[in-house]
Copies of this chain bind each other. A is one copy, B any other.
Amino acid sequence: MSQTLRVAILGAGTVGTEVIRLLHEQGADLTERTGAELKIVGIAVRDADAPRDPIIDPALITDDPASLVGRADLVVELMGGIDPARELVLDAINAGASVVTANKALLAAHGPQLYEAAAARGVDIYYEAAAAGAVPVVRGVRESLAGDRINRIIGIVNGTTNYILDEMTHGGIGFEEALAQAQQLGFAEADPTADVDGHDAAAKIAILSSMAFHTRINIDDVPVEGIRAISAADVATAAESGHVIKLLAIAERRVDDQGREGIALRVYPALLSTDHPLATVRGAFNGVLIEAQAAGELMFYGQGAGGAPTASAVLGDVVSAARNRVSGGRGPQETSYAQLPVLDPGLVATQYQLRLLVADQPGVLAKVAGTFGEHGVSIQTVRQSQLPPTEGPAEIVLITHRAPEAALAATTEALAGLSSVQGLLAVTRVEDH
């Protein structure tokens, strides 16, 4: 129990401060659990003179992270962003330190370089907090399901957009109003692009699917659609048919038309039936559903962001890395032996909901239905919207059976050419269970 592990913290923002607090408050417990004293040897920050939480010892503050990483056994990287985080993590690894990072942008763009460096140097790199905050889905995929075959991951991995969509659903407000509210409450940043346009979710599904399918998947492999176009009317129409709209990150094994197995990836808003397990993920929470061959369906649910929850995930990794240091072992290493191809997302057939404004005259429905049929898209349900009409023509809502993206695109193009169709208000995907 006399061993001491030197811990360097890079970044003392919201998460970093909570990590430092947990290291203090749980110090004696962490020593019992790891067999080593975890001693903070330095805290690197951008501005050494900025005011800080009193839990942070000013004597440990430095604005020179490069000098710090060489004198630590464990480096906890919480700076975010690519530069200088990438160089610092590589320097830490090359100096023989194990790394814990919460940096999804870094991993989704440069993970392989870091994993290879860690493997070559024989040190650990852990990153539970990079995928869904406190939700322990990285360990679930890398360890719990390591003897199984994962077929599909479908997750709500961005709390900001889930909060916005939830407020639109339960508060009856529009996107802009919900976004402003999220910003006011600290659930959304001043520049909400990374969240509302789906890039944050894309980084997370890239990280999760790389592990799950033993294939290197980059954030650029993930086609992304955000939630800016979702209107209050879309949400209300979804509710009429027993659905909620959620921003989903999906990765799954599929076979393409040449019979080749690959991974289909996407981030987009979609309708989920209210009895879908992910439909119950409320507010800023995250939920990830994994389908594996032997385990069947597993769901992980919890807080996907915030200082303390993210710090909990970081500390869990710190304990794992410390235990390995003490026992002389290694954590699970990245494996990318499968290298499955990333499939064209257009291959994946999904259901669609379409909201159409049509002339209120006989024969229109037959014409519309005929157009779907001509393009090989079959209709599951059609109904007149129960929303109060805001314009003259009638609004009809159609839900299709599964159809390829190309067939749906051809259908909507043909619908636009019909004189009786006065507007295509929205097209939203539907994910069944």
By a beta-carbon cutoff of 8 Å, the part of chain A in contact with chain B is 18, 22, 26, 29-30, 32-33, 128, 134-136, 139-140, 143-149, 214, 277, 280, 292-303, 306, 308-309, 311-320, 323-324, 327-332, 335, 337-338
> Which residues in B have their C-beta under 8 angstroms from that of A324?
327, 329
Min CB gap A147→B, angstroms: 2
Knowing A302-B298, A315-B147, the reply to whether A33 touches B329 (Cβ < 8 A) is: no
A18 CB contacts on chain B under 8 angstroms: 294
Can you name the residue of chain B whose Cβ is closest to the Cβ of A330? Answer: B327
The complex places the Cα of A30 from the Cα of B214 at a distance, in Å, of 12
Q: Are A309 and B330 also in contact (CB < 8 A) when A144-B316, A147-B22, A277-B301 are?
A: no
| Nearest 6 A/B pairs, CB to CB | A329-B329, A147-B315, A136-B144, A295-B312, A327-B330, A294-B312
Known contacts A296-B309, A308-B294; A147/B328 CB under 8 A = no
Residues on the B chain within 8 Å of A316, using CB: 143-148
Out of B139, B303, B319, name the residue touching A147 (CB < 8 Å).
B319
For A134, what are the chain B residues with a Cβ–Cβ distance below 8 Å?
Answer: 294-296, 298
Residues of B within 8 A of A319 (CB): 143, 146-147, 332
Question: In the complex, what distance in Å separates the CA atom of A30 from the CA atom of B147?
Answer: 7
For A275, the closest partner residue in chain B by CB is B280
Interface class of chain A by DSSP: mixed
A327 partner residues in chain B, CB cutoff 8 A: 324, 329-330
Find the residue from A143, A294, A319, A330 having the highest chain B CB count within 10 A: A294
Q: How far is the CB of A263 from chain B (nearest CB, A)?
A: 15
Contacts of A149 on B, CB cut-off 8 Å? 26, 29
Least CB distance from A155 to B in Å reads 13
Q: Which of B136, B148, B315 contacts A140 (CB 8 A)?
A: B136
Given A294-B315, A327-B330, A301 contacting B303 (CB threshold 8 A): no
In the complex where A139-B143, A143-B316, A302-B299 touch, is A311 in contact with B294 (Cβ < 8 A)? yes
A135 engages B298 (CB within 8 Å): yes
Q: How many angstroms between the C-alpha atoms of A329 and B292 in the bound complex?
A: 28
| Cα–Cα, bound, A178→B134 (Å) | 38
**A80 smallest CB distance to B (angstroms):** 19
CB-CB < 8 A to A303: which residues of B? Answer: 295-298
Residues of B near A128 (CB, < 8 A) are 144
CB distance from A343 to the nearest CB of B (A): 20
Cross-chain pairs A/B with CB under 8 angstroms, 19 sampled: A18-B294, A22-B147, A32-B335, A33-B214, A33-B335, A135-B298, A136-B139, A143-B319, A146-B315, A147-B317, A148-B316, A277-B301, A294-B308, A294-B315, A295-B302, A295-B309, A299-B300, A323-B332, A328-B328
With the chains together, A308 CA to B317 CA distance in Å? 29
| Nearest opposing residue in chain B for A128, CB measure | B144
Q: How far does the Cβ of A311 sit from chain B's closest Cβ, in whole Å?
A: 6
**Nearest residue, chain B, Cβ from A317:** B147
The residue in chain B whose Cβ has the minimal distance to the Cβ of A315 is B147
- Interface-centre pick from A33, A312, A314 (highest chain B CB count, 10 A): A312
| Docked CA distance A377–B324 (Å) | 52
Contacts of A317 in B (CB 8 A): 147
Report chain B residues within 8 Å CB of A306: 296
Q: Which residues of B contact A148 (CB under 8 A)?
A: 22, 26, 312, 315-316
Is there contact, CB below 8 Å, between B328 and A308?
Answer: no
Q: How far is the CA of A302 from the CA of B335 in the complex (A)?
A: 26
Q: Closest B residue to A327 by CB, please name it.
A: B330
A314 to B148, CA, bound (A): 10
Chain B residues lying within 8 Å of A337, measured Cβ to Cβ, are 32
